[in-house]
Amino acid sequence: MFSTPVLLIIFNSPDTTQKVFDRLREIKPKFLYVSADGPRPNNKSDIKLCHDARAIIETLDWECELHTNFNVSNLGLKNAISSGITWFFGSVEQGIILEDDCLPNTLFFRFCEELLERYKSDQRVMSISGNNFQDCDVGEGSYYFSRITSIWGWATWRRAWLLLDLNLKQFASFKSSNQIKNIFNDSLTRKFWLAKIEEGGNSWAFPWAFTHFLNNGLCIMPNKNLVTNIGFREGATHGTNPNSILANLKTEEMPELLHPKYMIPQLEADYRWSRKAAKDQFTMRIRLSKWIRSFIPNSVKIYLKSRFLK
């Protein structure tokens, strides 16, 4: 029996929800919270898909204190997830958050449980991620400290979540005073994160990342990847490219949990991650541009070339 509370966030993907729920069945959380957004207006397929996803929760077959927060109407990604997490922390002091397309291995739960206890009173640490996007180990421990957040399977405390600036009320001042220079030295990393926060209108995740910046907070990143995102596909809200370098990453085992000696953010690792994410995004844009250009008649291409490439 696993005693740390777990929040599962679901919507209209019963196939991936089933896989994540089956993994929960393996560790049998004693306290399970499930939050679900309602079907989108005028979307008939959502009605059945949302119903089928919620029906999976009814198959719970272990001793468990179950709490549900099923929205009747659709709140949208940003508000549904953020309000679900707020509902969760209205009842618990610390816990693990999983979305319906984030499939962890069983080690992830033990990793989060131990570190939630270890850092529960340390205001410097604001979140614990199960993701690793590095090509090498960082530091001497089983995990390292990062300025960057990653939320494909993660954990946090009520004390940190209460700081969330969901509507980015402080972003304009933060940007105009160039505070990002005090977070990152690398110019590409600064540009990448400012752009992602600014364009993330339907996202709760980038305001959460911004909240870490505002409070000089640290996120714990494992040196082995513990969660894989199985939701990259057409029709997804954000992860629509199944060929993304971040899609369906393998999870790994961690022989023992070794704590790093120093609580210092590993900025070089943050730069590598940001550059990899920026390259992935740039590659997607190139593919889209080539696809659009393939429909332009040759006569138009010749004209544009003669007009602008003299």
Contacts of 157 (CB under 8 A, 6+ apart): 93, 94, 116, 120, 126
Given a cut of 70, whether residue 169 has pLDDT beyond it is yes
Asked if 16 and 119 sit in the same domain, the reply is no
Of 46, 75, 100, at which residue does a domain stop? 100
Percentage with pLDDT > 70 across the chain: 86
The CATH number covering residue 35 comes to 3.40.50
In this predicted model, what pLDDT tens digit does every residue of 87-124 receive, in sequence order? 999 999 999 999 999 999 999 999 999 999 999 999 99
Residue 226's domain comprises 104-310
Q: Does 72 lie in the same domain as 165?
A: no
The H or E element containing residue 129 is: strand 125-129
Separation of alpha carbons 189 and 272, rounded Å: 9
Does residue 307 register a pLDDT over 60?
Answer: no
- Burial code of 148-172, b = ≥16 C-beta within 10 A, e = fewer? bbbbbbbbbbbebbeebbbebeebe
* Residue that finishes a domain, picked among 50, 69, 100: 100
Cβ atoms within 10 Å of 185's Cβ, excluding its own: 10
pLDDT computed for residue 182 by the predictor: 96
Co-location of 72 and 220 in the same domain: no
> Based on the domain organization, do 210 and 78 belong to the same domain?
no
Is 308 in the same domain as 232? yes
Q: Strands 125-129, 218-222: parallel, antiparallel or unpaired by DSSP?
A: parallel
Question: Cβ distance 211 to 164 under 8 Å?
Answer: yes
Answer yes or no: is pLDDT of 70 > 60.
yes
**CA 71 – CA 86 distance, rounded (Å):** 14
Buried b (16+ CB within 10 A) or exposed e, 124-146: ebbbbbbbbbbeeebbebbbbbb
Confidence of residue 233 (pLDDT cuts 50, 70, 90): low
| 75 and 130 within one domain | no
> Which runs of consecutive H residues, i.e. helices, occur in 44-165?
44-57, 77-89, 106-118, 158-161
Same domain? 92 vs 123: no
Distance CA 110, CA 108 (A): 6
Q: How many domains does the chain have?
A: 2
For residues 130 and 273, state if they share a domain.
yes
Counting DSSP H helices and E strands in the chain, the numbers are 10, 10
Give the residue from 100, 120, 148 where a domain finishes. Answer: 100
- Cα 282 to Cα 275: distance, rounded to the nearest angstrom: 10
Question: How high is the mean pLDDT of the chain?
Answer: 89
Q: Residue 285 — very low, low, confident or very high, per pLDDT cuts 50/70/90?
A: very low
Check residue 72 and report its DSSP letter: S
Tens digit of each residue's pLDDT (9 = 90 or more) over 34-67: 999 999 999 999 999 999 999 999 999 999 999 9
- Identify whether residues 1 and 39 lie together within a single domain: yes
* pLDDT the model gives residue 75: 97
- Phi, psi dihedrals of residue 235, rounded to the nearest 5°: 95, -10
Cα–Cα dist 27/155, whole Å = 16
Does 243 lie in the same domain as 272? yes
pLDDT per residue as tens digits for the range 114-163: 999 999 999 999 999 999 999 889 999 999 999 999 999 999 999 999 99
218 shares a domain with 71: no
Shared domain check, 72 and 44: yes
Reply yes or no on whether the pLDDT at 303 is more than 80. no
